[in-house]
Amino acid sequence: MWTTIRGVLIRDLLLAVRRRQDILTAVLFFVIVVTLFPLGVGPEPAVLRDIAPGVVWVAALLATLLSLDRLFAADLRDGTLEQMLLAPQPLALLVLAKILAHWIVAGLPLVLMAPLLGLQLGLGWEELQVLMAALLLGTPVLSLIGAIGAALTLGLRGGVLIALLVLPLYVPTLILGTGAVENQMAGLSPEAHLSLLGALLLLALFLAPWAAAAALRIMVD
């Protein structure tokens, strides 16, 4: 079973490396959105610092959303999804491997880019550490929840439908992620927000793969 899961993970990572434009699209979108905000709201350091957590998190959320429609679409076209449905291994574990590959490709680069963009918006070192910790806990939640939306809209060519389905479910992650950084900026402890993000991640890890697997079975049937 673990050999199959590892094979799914490696296969998706290799396909992502061959389609570098998909990786670059999400990362460049993230960078462009955050970079454009100082041009729109003005160069005042105090204003930029105040809005920095929300700007970075909203950009990360939208960049993740941009890559969700490709999560299962290629597997449906080439017949891989049908083979996954027929495999003796639990479909939820195979889906979890695909979600992990998606996060490595679409989520981890955002976490690594966040400190540079945070510096541009005037965040200090301690705020950047909290921002990275929050993104490290929150971006996997975005991928896990987004996988459910991608599975429910599979074959419908509905990028807008995915947004309508998953954006309301992204709100708690967005609030907790920005709240952790804002608490650090206000001199308060961000541990409560980070703990809730960790609990949300554990809940999504247990529930989202099974929900996405059930949605895939419905859409393929």
Q: Give tens-digit pLDDT for 33-87.
A: 998 888 888 778 888 888 999 999 999 999 998 888 778 887 887 778 888 888 7
Phi, psi of 102 (to 5 degrees): -60, -40
Q: What percent of the chain has pLDDT over 90?
A: 51
Q: What pLDDT is recorded for position 11? A: 87
- Widest CA span of the chain, in angstroms? 59
pLDDT beyond 90 at 173: yes
CA distance 162 to 11: 24
Inter-axis angle of helices 2-18 and 91-102, nearest 10:
30
CA torsion sign, 123 to 32 to 171 to 113? negative
CA distance 104 to 196: 22
CA distance 172 to 154: 25
Tell me the residue range of the domain where 99 lies.
Answer: 2-220
How many domains is the chain partitioned into structurally?
1
In this prediction, residue 158 has a pLDDT band, given cuts at 50, 70 and 90, of low
pTM metric for this prediction: 0.91
